[in-house]
Amino acid sequence: MVIEHGGVVFGSAYDEKFMPRQIYVTNINDLQKLRGSKYVTSDTQNTFPKVKKFLEEGKIVLYTGVPCQIGGLKKDYDNLYTIDIICHGVPSQKIFKKGEKWIKKLEFYI
């Protein structure tokens, strides 16, 4: 609905290095990238200033993320909608990277 009304949807998508990043989409087909749980911290990058810019242009913005990301957004705008997913905690990207190296080493021994 947000996209059908010319709005912008922010959420978590994997980048080319398989790390989750907060991105925005304006096309219904691109929503697929945001679907599914990524069990690593999704880098918010510079999405918050982008949200502000879109809101001030009068666009509807839907921002989805873990509760601490949503907690960091100012809710002073009527055109801002947020969804915080149920989250017991998020492992850091550093841990994920270390795990990746460990798995590769393990493969060497198998």
Ligand X SMILES: Cc1cc2nc3c(=O)[nH]c(=O)nc-3n(C[C@H](O)[C@H](O)[C@H](O)COP(=O)(O)OP(=O)(O)OC[C@H]3O[C@@H](n4cnc5c(N)ncnc54)[C@H](O)[C@@H]3O)c2cc1C
Q: How many CB atoms lie within 10 A of CB 69?
A: 23
User: What stretch of H or E contains 64?
Assistant: strand 61-65
What's the min distance (Å) between Cβ of 56 and ligand X?
23
Contact between 33 and 13 (Cβ < 8 Å): yes
**Residues of this chain, 28-87, that bind ligand X according to CB under 6 A:** 34-40, 42, 64-66, 85-87
What's the min distance (Å) between Cβ of 83 and ligand X?
6
Residues that bind ligand X (CB under 6 A): 11-12, 20, 34-40, 42, 64-66, 85-88, 90
